[in-house]
């Protein structure tokens, strides 16, 4: 039960918060500003029987510059080197161009993709199902996890199942 897991998602969906929560240390760089995480910073989750190496991708977005192109390519190349991908979205925002940009790239990735719907502490439970349905129409997901990376809701369930699948 070990492997590499990439986390991909629009800026500010909570990728760094998630890694920090799972690893329990301030490893990923956190900020309200997009793209603080400029490198593939790895957090390693280890138990007696398992090890997951998390890779926090740079804030992916529609490229508008050469630097943007490079960062997006770098994030995308990571996806083909890992064992599983966590695609994180924000439960408090409608699916937007930034999400669709990532979805389009994920369609070529032949690895298990987990949909992680973050910030559920800020939405009514009734509002979750339409979000799940909406994303399910765009990609085939191995599993869907509504979580709060900030409060920790459902995070250990996600990690435990991920470990089992690896
Ligand atoms: P990243 O750009 O995807 O790495 O996002 P960050 O982890 O830096 O988080 C961006 C902002 O969202 C920060 O202010 C976090 O505190 C906040 N945030 C992250 N996860 C949650 C969550 O589950 N609930 C709430 N309410 N805020 C969150
Ligand atoms: Mg980050």
Contacts of residue 76, Cβ cutoff 8 Å, sequence gap at least 6? 60, 105
Q: What is the per-residue DSSP string for 68-120?
A: HHHHHHHHHHHHTTSSEEEEEEETTS---HHHHHHHHHHTT--S-EEEEEE-G
* Tokens (6 digits) for 4: 């590499």
| Atom 10 of ligand 1: nearest residue by CA position | 12
Split into its structural domains, the chain has a count of 1
- Whether 141 contacts 135, CB under 8 Å: yes
Choose which residue among 7, 14, 93, 117 to substitute to test ligand 1 binding: the one with the highest number of ligand atoms within 8 A of its C-beta.
14
- CATH number of the domain bearing residue 14: 3.40.50.300
Q: What's the confidence (pLDDT) of residue 37?
A: 44
Question: For 36-70, what is each residue's pLDDT tens digit?
Answer: 444 465 678 888 888 898 887 765 666 666 766 76
Ligand 1 atom closest to the CA of 11, numbered from 1:
2
The reported pTM is: 0.88
- Domain of 127? 2-165
Q: Would strands 84-90 and 113-118 be described as parallel, antiparallel, or unpaired?
A: parallel
pLDDT confidence of residue 36? 44
Residue 46 pLDDT: 86
Q: Check the annotation: does 98 bind a ligand.
A: no
Give tens-digit pLDDT for 106-116: 998 989 999 99
| Interval 117-144: pLDDT, tens | 999 999 999 999 999 999 999 999 999 9
DSSP secondary structure code for residue 46 in this structure: E
Task: Report how far ligand 2's centroid is from the alpha carbon of 29 (Å).
Answer: 6
């Amino acid at each position: 039960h070990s492997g590499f897991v990439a986390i991909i998602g629009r800026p500010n969906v909570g990728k760094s918060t998630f890694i920090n929560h799972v690893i329990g240390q301030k490893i990923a760089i956190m900020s309200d500003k997009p793209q603080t995480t400029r490198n593939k910073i790895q957090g390693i989750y280890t138990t007696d029987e398992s090890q997951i190496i998390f890779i926090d991708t740079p804030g992916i977005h529609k490229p508008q510059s050469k630097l943007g192109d490079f960062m997006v390519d770098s994030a995308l190349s990571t996806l083909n080197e890992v064992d599983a991908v966590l695609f994180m979205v924000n439960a408090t925002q409608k699916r937007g161009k930034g999400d669709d940009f990532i979805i389009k790239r994920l369609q070529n990735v032949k690895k298990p993709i987990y949909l992680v719907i973050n910030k559920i502490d800020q939405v009514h439970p009734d509002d979750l199902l339409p979000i799940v349905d909406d994303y399910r129409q765009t990609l085939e997901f191995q599993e869907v996890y509504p979580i709060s990376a900030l409060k920790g809701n459902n995070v250990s369930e996600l990690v435990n199942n991920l470990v089992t699948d690896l």
